[in-house]
Structure 1
C-alpha cells in the first residue's frame, strides 16, 4: 500500500504538471479562444467516449442529472473560453496567478451553495487575496483586460467545482465528464451556427475555422487527449489512494508549474515585475493556508465524532 500511495502521489504531480502545460498549449495554438475551446471539447468528448466504450460503462442518466450536467457543461465551456482569452490578450503568468483565486471564490460561494455559515478565517483570507490582487493590478495595469478575463475564468471554475461536487460522488466521473463536455461543445456549436447565419462573415463556421495548421492540429490533439481526457481520468484514479487534502495542496502547484514552464519556453515575454510575484505569492499562500485550516477543522470534527461513538 505505501508503494501504491507513493506511485499515485507522483502520478498526481505529473497530472498537475500537465494541467500547468495546458496554458502553454493555449499560447502555442494560433487560433482564437472560442474555436480553440470548441475543438478541445469536441475531441476530448470523443476520447472519453472511446474510454467509456472499452470500459463498457453505461451512459444512462436521469433527466434531472442530465440537466445538471448540461448546466455544468455551459459553465466549463465559458471557463475555458475566458481562460484562453486571458492568455491571448495578456500572458500565461497573469492568467495562472489569477486562476489561483478560484479557492477564494469557492469560499464565498460555498456557504450560499451548501447553506452553511461563513467561517471567520475565510473572511480574513478573502482580504489577503484582495491585497494580492491589488498589488498585481497596481504593477500590471497594462494587462487589465487579461486580468478581468482570468478572474471571470476563476469564478466560473469555482461554480463548476461546486456543481460537480454534488454529483461526482454519486455517479461515474467519466460519464459525468462526457456529458459535460458534449453539452459544452453543443452550446458553443449553437452559438457559432447562429453567428454564421445571422452574424458577420468573419466569425462562426467559416472556411478558415476548419483550416488549422499542422502545428495547431498537433497541439490541439495533445491538449484534448493528454491534458483533458487523460488528466481527468488519471485525477479520478489517484483520488482512490490519496486524501482530498493532499490532492488539494498538490493541485495548487498548477500555477507554479505553469509559470515556470512559460518562463523557460517563452523567456522574456513572461518575465514580470517583481511585485507581481509578491502578489501572486500572497494569493497562492492564502489558498494553501485555507486548505490547511479546513483540513485541521475536518480532522478535529472527525476526532470529536470518534470520541462520541466510543
Structure 2
C-alpha cells in the first residue's frame, strides 16, 4: 500500500512538472489567451477521441453526467483563459506562484463536497502559502493585474479539482477529460461566435505556434489531464492541489533557463517561493507519515 501511494505521488509530481512546462509554452505561443485555449482544447479533444477509438472505449454517458461535465468544462475553460492572460500581462513566475493559493481555496471548498469539517491543519498550511505570497508581492505592485487574473484562475482550478474528485467515484478519467474539454471548447466557440471573433486572421497560425500547440494539447493537456483525474482515485483533492504548488518552482527554473533576464525576480520572490516549497514538503510528510511507517514495519517484519 505504501509503495503504491509513493508511486502515485511520483506520478503526480511528473504531471505537475508537465503543467509547469505548460506555462512556458503558453508564454512562447504568440496568440492571445482565448484563441490559445480554444486551439488547446480542440486539439486535446481530437487526441482523446483518437485514444477512445483506438482502445474501443465507449463515449456513452448519462444525461446528468453530461450536465456536470458541461458546467465543469466551462470552469476549466475560464480557468485556462485567466491563467494564460495572467502570463501575457505579467510573466510565468508571477502567474504560477499566485496559483499556489489553490491549496487554500481547496481547503475551503473540499469540505462542502466531501461532507467533512474544515481541517484546521489544511487552513494553517494554506495560510502559510498566502504568507509566502505576501512576501513575494509586497513590493511587486507592477504585476497587480497579473496577480488578480492568476487568483481567479487559482480559485477556478481549485473548484474543478474538487469537483473531479467527486466525479471520479462514478466516471472514468478518460470520460471526464473528454467531455469537460469538449464542452469547454464549445463554450469558448459560442463566445467567439457571439463576438464575431472567428475571422480569417483567427485561423492564421504560424508553423512554430502549431508545434507548440500540438505539444501543449497532447502531452500537457490530453495526457496530463487524464492522468491528474486518475490520481484522484488514490490521493485527496487537497493533497493534489497542494502538490501543484510545486508547479511554480519547476516552471521558474525552466523559465530562467529559457527566457533569462525576463524572468529574474528580486530576492523576496525566491524567499516566498521557498516558503511555498516548504509547505508542500511539510504536507507530504504529514500525509504520508502513516503509510510510510506501515511500509517500514512490513519490510522489517519480513527481514525477521
The question of a shared fold, defined as TM-score above 0.5 by the shorter chain, is answered with yes
How far has the Cα of 1:121 moved from its partner? 2.0
Pairing 1:17–2:10 present: no
2:33 is aligned to 33
How far has the Cα of 1:137 moved from its partner? 2.4
Pairing 1:267–2:263 present: no
Which whole-Å CA distance do the structure 2 matches of 1:124 and 1:143 have between them? 26
How far has the Cα of 1:115 moved from its partner? 3.3
Pairing 1:224–2:217 present: yes
Please tell me the root mean square deviation across aligned C-alpha atoms, in Å.
3.1
Secondary structure, counterpart of 2:50 in structure 1 = helix
Aligned residues of 1:245 and 1:295 also touching (Cα < 8 A): no
Aligned residues of 1:52 and 1:175 also touching (Cα < 8 A): no
Secondary structure, counterpart of 2:138 in structure 1 = helix
Which whole-Å CA distance do the structure 1 matches of 2:147 and 2:39 have between them? 24
Which whole-Å CA distance do the structure 1 matches of 2:151 and 2:163 have between them? 19
Aligned residues of 2:72 and 2:180 also touching (Cα < 8 A): yes
Over 3 Å counting, the alpha-carbon distance change for 1:120 and 1:245 in structure 2 is closer
Which whole-Å CA distance do the structure 2 matches of 1:117 and 1:240 have between them? 21
Aligned residues of 2:177 and 2:226 also touching (Cα < 8 A): no
Unpaired segments ≥5 residues, structure 1: 197-203, 301-310
Decide which moves more: 67-76 or 110-119.
110-119
> How many pairs align?
293
Unpaired segments ≥5 residues, structure 2: 294-304
Which whole-Å CA distance do the structure 2 matches of 1:136 and 1:80 have between them? 23
Please give the per-residue CA displacement for 1:59-113, whole angstroms capped at 9, x wherever unaligned. Answer: 1111111101111100100110011001100111111111121111100111233
Over 3 Å counting, the alpha-carbon distance change for 1:284 and 1:91 in structure 2 is same
Aligned residues of 2:101 and 2:129 also touching (Cα < 8 A): yes
Which whole-Å CA distance do the structure 2 matches of 1:66 and 1:226 have between them? 25
How far has the Cα of 1:18 moved from its partner? 1.9
Secondary structure, counterpart of 2:169 in structure 1 = coil
Aligned residues of 2:16 and 2:246 also touching (Cα < 8 A): yes
TM-score, length basis structure 2: 0.85
